Amino acid sequence: MALGTPHWRRLREIWRSAGWPCQDLVEVELLAAGLLERLSEGPRERLRVTDAGIQALAATLDRNRQARDAHEQLVGRVALELQRGGRVVWRGLSLRAGLPGEAAPPAEAGTLIDAAAPVPAARPRWVNAMPDVFSLRHTTVPDYLDVAVHEIKVSRADLLGELRRPAKSQAYLALSSQCWFVLKAGIAEPQEVPPEFGVLLAHAQHLELARPAPRRPHQPDFATWMALARHACEAPPQDDAQGRLGEPAPGAPPEDR
């Protein structure tokens, strides 16, 4: 029996609670799999996670931890490559993006309408977004900022979940001049990603350009600048000084060695 996200979520909820049953099909499947057991307490019945359920929860926790570690490692690789390209980089930002809202509903039949009155504009719909990597060029010319968002995906399930929530991806587009999906090589084909996004494929030793990201004019709004000011950017990379030729001169200060 294949168990999905609702099963693991329910199993964790029962582990953390007193285990009062909901008596739905999710619990039926967990009971049939031997991950839950029923306990009778007088007229009431309670559920308890079995030893097999505890082992399954531990295995799920380990898989999730490994996925998070792989995700954070790739986020670090992308951030470092952007810094080496002369960009200022942020990780873990929480930004607010305004998306086009719905127009006002039409007036009911029989309602008098003033033809000279202005048509109310659609209110923007605000969406919170947390891009994996947010960067801009190190420049003092606003038109050259070239704000970019890189969203990192190391599993196919994570990518498909993102594509099923278009509001999140649209928020990234609203916050940037160019937006990229960085995919672990092998989890998806570039054509599976909408054409508004560029695609980079992450191999073991390098990042492959699969499709460039379309560029659009964009200037960060005041709320974005305030978020950048409150959140420290990534520290500059401490790369080895390979460009230095020869050994330091005798008697040179320690910082030159």
pLDDT 10s digits, 73-86:
999 999 999 999 99
Are 19 and 41 in contact by the 8 Å Cβ rule? The answer is: no
Which band of pLDDT confidence, cut at 50, 70 and 90, is reported for residue 251?
Answer: low
Look at residues 171, 183, 178, 209 and name the one whose alpha carbon lies nearest to residue 196.
178
Q: What is the pLDDT of residue 6?
A: 87
Amino acid 131 reads P
Average model confidence (pLDDT) for the chain? 84
The tokens of 68 are what?
Answer: 């998070």
- List, in order, residues 6 or more apart from 83 with CB less than 8 Å away: 89, 234, 236, 237
**Domains defined along the chain, listed by start:** 5-49 (no CATH), 66-100+123-230 (3.40.1350)
pLDDT 10s digits, 158-209:
899 888 888 888 999 999 999 999 999 999 999 999 999 999 999 988 999 9
Mean pLDDT of all residues in 131-155: 94
Would the pTM of this model clear 0.75, i.e. be above it? Answer: no
